[in-house]
Chains A and B, each alone.
Chain A
Amino acid sequence: MRAFAEVLDGLSTTQSRIGKLALLSAYLRHAPDPDRGWALAALTDGLPLRIAFRRILSDLMAQRADPVLFKISRDFVGDTAETVSLMWPVAPYVDAPPRLSDVVGQLLAAKPSEQAGIIARVLDRCNARERWAFLKLVGGAPRVGVSARLAKTAVAELGDRDVSDVEEVWHALEPPYLDLFRWIEGTGERPDPGIVPVFRPMMLAHPVEEADWPGLDPNDFAAEWKWDGIRVQVAAKGGDVRLYSRTGDDISGAFPEIRSAFAHADVVADGELLVVRQGSVAAFNDLQQRLNRKTVAVKMLRDHPAHLRLYDLLFADGEDLRPLPFADRRRRLEDWHARERPLLTDLSVLIPFASFAELEELWRGARQAGIEGLMLKRRASAYLAGRPKGHWFKWKRAALTLDCVLMYAQRGSGKRSSLYSDFTFGVWRPRVGSNEQELVPVGKAYSGFTDAELRELDRFIRANTTETFGPVRAVQPKLVLEIAFDAVQLSARHKSGVAMRFPRVHRIRWDKPPEEADTLDATLALIDRPAA
């Protein structure tokens, strides 16, 4: 545990990718099996433990700390596991911490009712840094700035291999990955990826920058709408179908209807996962309801039907199409789709255009239909893993803005817990039965300001508080915030009837009188109709 704690601690404060990689490789080279395999699991897919982590932590702390102090501390630190590691009562003498693989072994063998006791005994034997690392290990997502891909890259480095070699076998492996390390270190065979439909690293786009335009010839590019869903890869082989997120996470469990649609296929395809009702793409919020579920209720399947809009074909009938130019792959995709016609799928249309100006004009029209932006794909480019420069571009529309009035402020968490940093703002509407105006809250923003602006806002809030309830202060409606957001949608859950997507403070309008802020009608006018 000590070596693992040290590497995790170092990773959490090391900024550079090279520095992180060096720390990880050194750890993987020196740590024994099976400890290093469990550590690798923690940094990639998570340990195969079923632990009600939050409940166990809150039960353990309920016996050891005052609830008010725990809450204040948690708000300050901004992370529950770290708070527990710091507040855990110090044992009279601290023993050496247990070995990582022993702890994992105990937890794997334990009944659910025994888990809390095991966790408490480990915490008693650790110092603060080890407690933190241990809780990150069993808690699922260590969030130390190490992607699964970086961890796999560190493994690949042990044997001078490329990360894609590791990724191609990854889904055939299980922690603690003994066969993987044997293969990488040259003492064992390559693990057989078998007939498991494995994840193929995706090709990603760069935002198009002003400086890119002069170098781009419209004839070299195909254009597609950028859909407001999530990017997925569907991999089907021998009746087994997997749906992978952009980062290679297996999200198949949440989308059984897509799996059955591909049950007879032998392909790997790239597309956008959406919720579509009667041919209309629903708001992103609807898709979010479907994510992060291990199983799906029938009602959810009926009310939030999933749909896959395909735009690329990587493999078909065992043939690797990735070296082909985009234009050829697109033809293969169209042929395959016309032949197989899998349910719940369609193709992302190619938008014909002669010039980028024409394309922009088309897009302006589509904006009314909720289109998030455009994708530009170089016709001659192969399907290249990662984010290679100059092949795929995303062209997003500028954010929308509204002038809103600050209504409430709440203390932040983490470094901001001494400042008021969460802002609820509203717009004007006529009060029912009178011709006076009243404010109605339309959203909440936590970002978009500098530290200096945050301190000014904090000062304004303290000086203009009308009421305090717990961590929240109501303030006089005097300050206008120009709020930027990606979209506004109808929402039954909000008093105003609308909800903003990604609102953030664009500018603080100290100069603007609050009466001149925007109205609810102006807000409603920005609602996108569902995409066609």
Chain B
Amino acid sequence: MMNIPCPFCGPRNEAEFAFGGPVKPHRPDPNAVSEVEWTQYITTVPNPLGPVEERWWHVKGCGTWLTIWRDTRTHDIVEGPGDAG
């Protein structure tokens, strides 16, 4: 079980949360990118064997959305590359 750190409620059992999916890159302007880039954006999410950045919704708690990095092998909440330091 994960203890997801909610900025308002503190660490809470993951059963209180709904999963919001991995963080995707910024939605491109379909007319400004190639067809391959556009369909890739629409159809593909990151699927790493390791840390992934994702959104969670504290739906059975305070209702806020938050972002964490989670290791898909262990489900440990980890520091993201940008968080260090």
Chains A and B form a bound pair: no
